[in-house]
A and B are shown apart, each in its own frame.
Chain A
Amino acid sequence: MKYCFLIFILAAVPVFAVQELPEDQMFPDTNAGVHDDTGMEPFVNETEVFVEMSEDALSATETEPVADSKLMPPQNVTAFDVPHDDGEAIMVVWEPPPEKTPTRYLLEISGPDGLWHEVTETVMTQYRVSQLTNRVLYRFRVSAIYPEGVARSEPTDPVAPLDHWLKLGEVPVLIAIMIFVFFLLWFIQAARRGVELFVRRISGLTAVEDAIGRATEMGKPVLYVPGLSGIEDVGTLAALNILGEVARRTVHYDVKIICPNRDPIVYTIAREIVKETYASEGRPDAYDPDSVFYLVPDQFAFAAGVDGIMVREKPATIFLLGYFWAESLIMAETGASTGAVQIAGTDSVAQLPFFITACDYTLIGEELYAASAYLSREPMLLGTLKAQDYGKLSFLLAMVILTLLAVLFGIDTVGWVEVR
């Protein structure tokens, strides 16, 4: 439970920070000037902090006439810093003209240079202007575009984007993570206490043992492709976890393993995993440094290289686990043509149909992540599988409850969970 406290303390710090914020900062009064984390301050006093607009620019823009005085411009155009974000963004909102609806609106921005630049044309009455510079003052104006002409609003008060400590829009993610971590730690504790956890049979993983046994009987190697993505992809990490388990079995059965890699960092880790596994199983002499190798970084060149290995070496078993793109079917079909038993698994939804079609067994989505726990049968790892199931159950319940609240009572539940 020591991890539990650590995670909750880390997770709770920004939550307490939210509670301490004064109300006026949560929803700033945009007409009052620029707001900072520490309170409201008029922008005219911030000459050391904010980059102000030149006097010429201010006077020039304010005195520009409306293009067509008969047409009504957009009303109440206001610009304000997007609250509790990571900066570089300003929200501009306006109301449509009272009498006639324009075909679209033209939003313009003026920065320190005083010149007006087009931001976008839109039919909406709000726009989030991003990629701005923090603490630099900007002004905005909106033109209503009619078939007869254009009516331009007065420029807004200058406003500067600011970065904030807590990204409030991510709080739903934080809450979801906390719930999930709670389940995770709960079931890990349960596993430690010796509670028996039932995990359903996953045929693709049950077949691993048989597939490697087949390679032993045939005297042919096992080909293991840990996806084409980099180490930053969790699917690649899952594939590397399974590689350890597969390598352990190849040591036991004395089968050669071939592991080509596309990413140099993944190659380095895969090589260490296989090497360490051989050492830990008491067979360091059996480790072939040529078994795990770097092939090529290009996507289709890699597919061609793996196809070549399949055709030349005729492996008895092929594992295609990790993240794949369009090359998935090229490799899976070539493998099928060689008569190998193929076990594939990916978290790329677009490639799953190809693997299901061309491979003997396919680990669908989350089964890829479950593989390491399933194969090792370590109680603590199995506990995390149960946590995944309960996490899904929570999501399902949340979706049902929020949908009912929205449908029956008209509550904006989407706004509660929306990540901004």
Chain B
Amino acid sequence: MKRKIPMTIMFILAIWGGISYFVGKTPVRNFDNLLRNRLLLIVGAFAIILGLGSLIFHHSQKIRRKARFWQYSYVMLIALVVTTFVGLFGGVRGEGRLPTIFGGTMLGAHEGKVYAFMNRDELNTFMSNPASYADPDKALMDLPREMDAPEGEQVFLSRYHAALLRQEIELQHAGYEMADEPIPPMISPVSGETVRYRADFKISLQALYEGIMVPCGSTMFAMLAFYMCSAAYRAFRMRNLHAGILLVSAFIVMLGQIPLATVFIPWLHDLRQWILDVPNLASKRGIMIGVGLGASATSFKIILGIERAWLGGGDE
């Protein structure tokens, strides 16, 4: 039973997947989408719980055993707790219950007009959809009537934007006129008349992602260039005939890519294109046909229950 049930489920779903590929009726397609997207998401959500359990267990074990570099496991566990806390209470874009902003934003005055500065993404989001900053606290209630949204367009602002607006009103009262259009945040119009400036940082999942994950990922990706150099060095050593052909082909393709080389050798570009379009593409297609057939064979082996390694070993 331990094997029969998953194999039966898999067989039925696989046959369904095959049928839905050839049937164009909308109900069939909708049900197929439900299986592929919604149900897979639910299964994925449960699997993530298992994955998190595994992650915590793995690093706890390392700390307990004092395995090599066990200190890094503390970094991982602390990062996990902080990220979860920020995600749960700070929201993806700072819409949660945590104080989303340290300080505020830049307010500038120039030639008698006040400009509000936000970062580029925030400004774009705010200008395109002010309602996305809806706040149940109804921050606008404390504002003077003349600063309310235009008639028929009820706009709610977050606590942060309400505070920002209040500052602007104060500046207005001080004799400044509000500018109609915000100046793009990357251009500073504040030439000696800056009224306030404060750092802008949100406690949000997006801030953590953009501030930590993206730079780290970019660093790893950038290292690829150096790995490519060392791999190319190894690949282009002329150990035998095949490596020699590879070296010559690569040399022509790289040289043909350079505009200056094609000025001196006009046919180089055509030769490069021929190498890419004929021998290179032919071998790629050969591999791809093999991959297609291999994938089909693997699928059929699993559907028909011939291949059972994915169920682990053992008897029924």
Contact = CB atoms under 8 A, between A and B. Distances in A.
Interface of A: 3, 10, 14, 84-87, 134, 163-167, 170, 173-174, 177, 180-181, 184, 188, 232, 234-235, 237-238, 240-245, 248, 261, 264-265, 267-269, 271-277, 279-281, 289-290, 292-295, 298-301, 303-304, 312, 326-327, 329-330, 332-333, 347, 349, 352-354, 356-358, 364-366, 368-370, 372, 376, 380-381, 384-385, 387-388, 391-392, 395
Interface in B283-315: 284, 287-291, 293-302, 304, 306-307, 309-315
Given A234-B298, A358-B231, A165 B309 contact: no
Contacts of B232: 357
A-B residue pairs, 9 tightest by C-beta: A276-B312, A280-B314, A86-B24, A280-B313, A369-B294, A366-B294, A294-B51, A244-B309, A264-B51
A349 B24 contact: no
B230 interface: yes
B58 A330 contact: no
B301 A300 contact: no
29 contacts: A10-B15, A86-B24, A163-B25, A163-B29, A234-B299, A244-B312, A248-B313, A265-B47, A267-B51, A267-B54, A268-B50, A276-B311, A279-B313, A280-B312, A294-B54, A301-B213, A301-B216, A329-B227, A349-B288, A356-B235, A357-B231, A358-B231, A358-B234, A369-B291, A369-B297, A372-B309, A384-B306, A388-B294, A395-B289
A376 B313 contact: no
A298 B230 contact: no
Given A264-B47, A298-B213, A329-B231, A180 B296 contact: yes
B147 interface: no
A22 to B, nearest CB: 18
B58 A333 contact: no
A357 B234 contact: yes
| Residue among B43, B217, B295 facing the most chain A CB atoms (10 A cut-off) | B295
B300 A184 contact: yes
B78 interface: no
Contacts of B309: 240-245, 273, 372, 376
A279 B23 CA distance: 43
Contacts of B306: 188, 380-381, 384
A365 B22 contact: no
A301 B288 CA distance: 29
Given A272-B312, A277-B312, A293-B55, A326 B234 contact: no
A264 B294 contact: no
A388 B293 contact: yes
Interface of B: 15, 18-19, 21-26, 29, 40, 43-44, 47-48, 50-52, 54-55, 57-58, 61, 68-69, 213, 216-217, 220-221, 223-224, 227-228, 230-232, 234-235, 284, 287-291, 293-302, 304, 306-307, 309-315
| Residue among A181, A269, A274, A330 facing the most chain B CB atoms (10 A cut-off) | A330
Given A368-B294, A369-B297, A165 B223 contact: no
Given A87-B26, A167-B22, A304-B220, A275 B312 contact: yes
A160 to B, nearest CB: 13
Contact of B54 (A188, A237, A293): A293
A256 to B, nearest CB: 13
B231 A366 contact: no
A276 B223 contact: no
A350 to B, nearest CB: 9
Contacts of A180: 293, 296-297
Nearest to A292: B54
Contacts of A295: 55
A90 to B, nearest CB: 14
Nearest to B68: A312
A85 B68 CA distance: 59
| Residue among B48, B54, B299 facing the most chain A CB atoms (10 A cut-off) | B54
A280 B315 contact: yes
B18 A387 contact: no
